[in-house]
Amino acid sequence: MGVTTERQDNTLIAKSEGRIDGANAREFQDALDAAIDSSERAVVLDLEEVSYISSAGLRVILLTAKSLQKQDAKFAVCSLSESIREIFEISGFDQIIAVHDSRDEAVDALKN
């Protein structure tokens, strides 16, 4: 369980895959922390290939969002599967964190 990164229009895209749960949430957090530099101004977390996320994984995403907010950076998630989107909606995370259907849509939203 790692995080890969790339850049698109001055936005850092962090992508994860597989399951994010209590067994690997710390590894997920460490990978995100290592990938996101303190100079970042816009970060998109692409969850297209994430098949499951537990409350531990949601906590990591929330901590990442709060950390980025402190450094005045924009943050969004994108490409959620139907089941992951449902988890975001039930937990209310879609009210706290911007959720976009595609990577391009998320990058465009963070540019403005």
Q: How many CB atoms lie within 10 A of CB 17?
A: 15
Structure confidence by residue, pLDDT tens digits, 40-96: 999 999 999 999 999 999 999 999 999 999 999 999 999 999 999 999 999 999 999
pTM to 2 decimal places: 0.95
Reading across the β-sheet that carries 11-20, which strands appear in turn?
Answer: 3-8, 11-20, 42-53, 74-78, 98-100
What is the CATH number that goes with domain 4-111? 3.30.750.24
- Give which of 34, 32, 68, 72 is closest to 50, Cα–Cα: 32
In tens, the pLDDT along 28-52 reads 999 999 999 989 999 999 999 999 9
Residues in the chain, how many? Answer: 112
